[in-house]
């Protein structure tokens, strides 16, 4: 991960940026709808607001961060650190910053933290999300299926050297 990548807690002033990050994760899906741009924008606003509210309510102890490259916001990382598990609530980067090792670097840091504290790492991943292969490469395994999302879990290596 490039050294200039760092995190800072989200602020209310970040909401327009966070909406844009969310919208970027739904672009391909919405291209299939044939909806006019105004309808897409309304839908994305409603969906982001619902998701943001859900995360704030159901993960009250989570850390909600903006991912920065230098001073430029490029994504979001929401993590809930629990006693036995680190839950990645959400990780998303703007399209121009995907595929450059930034997400992998952020995930590597979380896996190192989990390994040093003996915790698992978990994340819900949509079954058709292209990042699913990344999680599998990093050693995550499917441990649950909600129909839309897989619950993926990474376990720290044991002392015997198992992964």
CATH number at residue 149: 3.40.630.30
Note the pLDDT of residue 160: 52
Q: Is 82 within the bounds of a domain?
A: yes
Q: Is 42 within the bounds of a domain?
A: yes
pLDDT 10s digits, 16-62: 999 999 999 888 888 888 898 899 899 999 999 999 999 999 999 99
Q: Which residue has the tokens 């376990």?
A: 155
Q: Structural domain of residue 134, as residue ranges?
A: 5-154
Q: Is 144 within the bounds of a domain?
A: yes
Q: How many structural domains compose the chain?
A: 1
How many CB atoms are closer than 10 A to CB 104? 15
Note the pLDDT of residue 162: 52
Q: Mean pLDDT score of the chain, rounded to an integer? A: 92
Q: Is 160 within the bounds of a domain?
A: no
Task: Tokens for 113, please give them.
Answer: 């933290």
Q: Say whether pLDDT at 1 is over 50.
A: no
Q: Is 163 within the bounds of a domain?
A: no
């Amino acid at each position: 991960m490039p050294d200039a990548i760092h995190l800072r807690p989200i602020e209310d002033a970040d909401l327009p940026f966070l909406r844009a990050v969310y919208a970027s994760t739904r672009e391909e899906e919405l291209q299939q709808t044939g909806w006019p741009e105004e309808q897409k924008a309304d839908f994305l606003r409603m969906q982001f607001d619902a998701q943001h509210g859900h995360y704030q309510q159901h993960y009250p102890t989570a850390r909600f961060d903006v991912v920065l490259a230098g001073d430029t916001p490029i994504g979001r990382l929401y993590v809930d650190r629990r006693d036995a598990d680190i839950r990645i609530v959400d990780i998303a980067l703007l399209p121009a910053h995907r595929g450059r090792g930034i997400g992998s670097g952020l995930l590597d840091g979380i896996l190192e933290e989990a390994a040093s504290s003996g915790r698992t790492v978990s994340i819900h991943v949509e079954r058709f999300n292209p990042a699913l292969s990344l999680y599998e490469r990093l050693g995550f395994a499917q441990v649950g299926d909600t129909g839309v999302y897989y619950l993926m879990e990474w376990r720290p290596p044991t002392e015997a050297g198992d992964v």
